[in-house]
Amino acid sequence: KVWLCWAVVLVPCQCLLGPTQPFSRGWGLKRPWQVRFLPRLELCREGAAEETCQLWLHTGGLDDQEALAVHRIVSQITEDSQALSAARVELEVVSQTPVVPAGLPGALGRIAALWPLPRVPEEELEEIQCIVSEAVDAAVDSGELAAPVILRFSAGPPRGLVEGTCRSKHLVQQVELFAEEHGLRCPLAAYPGGESSPDGFSPEGRVNATVVELDGAEVDGLGWDTSRVVVIDGLVSTSLREALLDTIGAQRDDPFRSPDPEYWVKGGLSDTFVDPAVDGEDSNEAASVGEGWGLSEEALEALCSETSPPPAVLEFETLLRDVVFPGGTPCRLSAGVFGSAVTPLTANAPTAGDDFDWHIDADPVLTPPGPWTDCFGRYPNRRPGGPRFVSCLVYLSDPWHEDWGAPTRFLDPPSLQEYKVLPLPGRIVLMDQDVSHSVTAPTTLAGPRPRYSLVWKLVLHPDPDGEGDGEVWPLSIPFAAAEDGAAVQSIQIGSAQAG
């Protein structure tokens, strides 16, 4: 009878203490509703390599088989490591339902958190985490895991919060922290002072837009799908266009001169991701799209700066955020997607005689292993509710005559039909990043004059409030501020007409 009374007391006490405080007589909590007998364990501490220490692996969004697979990987690697060879890893499937933060729509919500943080040197911990990540990526490739998984070495949930709902909340917080640490969803910044721009949005004339559909196909999970290109005229003011030209070192006083070598490098245009499955190269490299002029490393770093962004860049990004994409959250492409080699902004300055290749900017179905893929997975670019990869191009040269050429060409691969967009001053071109396109060199009639343009690599995140259907563009263009209204036309090219 006495023993039974103690048993009644032990269970609630353990639930209050949580698994980070094993009982001195060997009682330990496996699940919030279970108590099992474990050998006496000590938490990992520096210099305790010869003692057994307790680690917990909490999973969310994984089924039992997947959780066991990750547990096997983590257990094997910790056993093989000198720093954690004495560690014992206990598995708890906190939730098989994805743990998706409210402010991160489209995330997979798949996570495995190992805690408490082992007290080993930081470089050893990073090495262990890297080895575990590589092994988990291999399990994804082999099909043992259905989708990528976020791996976290965590301090664990607060003491006393051991209920299942509390642990789920802790995993949700870990997903949020992971996305924040890697900058996976950082909205475009506002212009200094919180205003849309120094003068607000005031188009100089009529705003016109053309929505082009191409590359139509049946896609699993989407049905009939087409890529989009949106061409907008009348949004960028002359003063903003000239300020952007100055930002990239264009010589407005003599537009016929070749690009300034202080800012530009011949053959320096490298802004597309190398697919290692195709090219067999390092996935953290950028591919050259041709032999045109590109910004120097120093100029590109200044252009992309987040600590001291050029004022003209901030003004244009505010225009994108407040006017062009009011129904979503536009963000710069994070280095967590393809690595730091693929920058969120770049600039082009093709000149007569240059040669360029067809290419795509990116595709979320082709992302390499890394923070973005762990958080959002791989998926078709226009999946409802998923972040959408979009590029924004703005032409800057003025004047630019039609017989000077240099259009941007867009390809409909099934029909091989092309759609050409002329580089009119201040024209904006928005495009799905998986659209095949190519820069075109100016004709000889342009002389040595470069055709300047700026490109933003963006990710459009759905509204976290859940309003709308996740279709953040093409927009029903909200240009009521234009005095003469707006004109919008739609065009279908080649295979897009089949839908």
Q: How far from the centroid of its chain's Cα atoms is residue 118's Cα?
A: 30
Q: Give the long-range contacts of residues 5-13, CB within 8 A, separation 24 or more.
A: 10/35, 11/35
pLDDT over 50 at 16, yes or no: no
Q: Do residues 430 and 343 make contact, with C-beta atoms less than 8 angstroms apart?
A: no
pLDDT value at residue 157: 67
pLDDT digits over 340-371, tens only? 989 999 999 999 999 999 999 999 999 999 99
For residue 413, count other CB atoms closer than 10 A to its CB: 14
pLDDT digits over 154-164, tens only? 776 665 555 55
What pTM was computed for the model? 0.83
In this structure, what token pair is assigned to residue 265? 């490098």
Tell me the percentage of the chain whose pLDDT exceeds 70: 75
pLDDT value at residue 495: 83
Residue 124 pLDDT class (50, 70, 90 cuts): confident
Q: What is the mean pLDDT of residues 45-60?
A: 69
Residue 98 pLDDT class (50, 70, 90 cuts): very high
pLDDT value at residue 473: 58
pLDDT value at residue 11: 33
Q: Angle 442-447-452 (CA atoms, 0-180°, nearest 5)?
A: 50
* Residue listed under structure tokens 């006495």: 2
pLDDT value at residue 271: 53
Which of the residue ranges 87-91, 305-309, 476-480 would you say has the lowest mean pLDDT? 476-480
Task: Please classify residue 485 by burial: count the beta carbons closer than 10 Å to its beta carbon, then call 0-12 exposed, 13-18 middle and 19+ buried.
Answer: exposed
Q: Which residue has the higher pLDDT, 471 or 435?
A: 435
How does the average pLDDT of the chain come out, rounded?
80
pLDDT value at residue 201: 57
DSSP helix/strand/coil, 394: strand
CA 440 – CA 193 distance, rounded (Å):
39
Q: Which residue has the higher pLDDT, 321 or 288?
A: 321
Residues β-bridged to residue 412: 417
In this structure, what token pair is assigned to residue 454? 């700026």
Q: Do residues 450 and 259 make contact, with C-beta atoms less than 8 angstroms apart?
A: yes
pLDDT value at residue 83: 74
pLDDT value at residue 31: 35
pLDDT over 90 at 278, yes or no: no
CA distance readout (Å), 461 to 155, 180, 308, 390, 479? 30, 14, 24, 11, 21
pLDDT value at residue 342: 92
Domains and CATH numbers, the chain: 2-181 (no CATH), 207-498 (2.60.120.620)
Q: Which residue has the higher pLDDT, 26 or 455?
A: 455
pLDDT over 90 at 142, yes or no: yes
pLDDT value at residue 192: 60
Q: What is the mean pLDDT of residues 98-124?
A: 90
Q: Which of 360, 406, 367 is nearest to 229 (CA)?
A: 360
In this structure, what token pair is assigned to residue 125? 């911990």
* Residue listed under structure tokens 């023993």: 3
Q: Do residues 36 and 30 make contact, with C-beta atoms less than 8 angstroms apart?
A: yes
Q: Please provide the DSSP assignment of 11-68 as one string.
A: HHHHHHH-TTS--TTSEEEEETTEEEE----B---TT-TTS-EEEEEEEES--HHHHH
Residues 6+ apart with CB under 8 A from 426: 233, 234, 235, 236, 237, 238, 240, 241, 394, 395, 396, 398
Q: Please provide the DSSP assignment of 402-418 as one string.
A: GGGB--EEEEETTTTEE
Q: Which residue has the higher pLDDT, 39 or 201?
A: 201
pLDDT value at residue 167: 85
Q: What is the mean pLDDT of residues 133-152?
A: 97
CA 54 – CA 87 distance, rounded (Å):
6
CA 182 – CA 187 distance, rounded (Å):
13
pLDDT value at residue 488: 76
In this structure, what token pair is assigned to residue 453? 């343009």
Strands 329-332 and 53-60: unpaired
Residue 35 pLDDT class (50, 70, 90 cuts): very low
pLDDT over 80 at 212, yes or no: yes
Q: Do residues 269 and 293 make contact, with C-beta atoms less than 8 angstroms apart?
A: yes
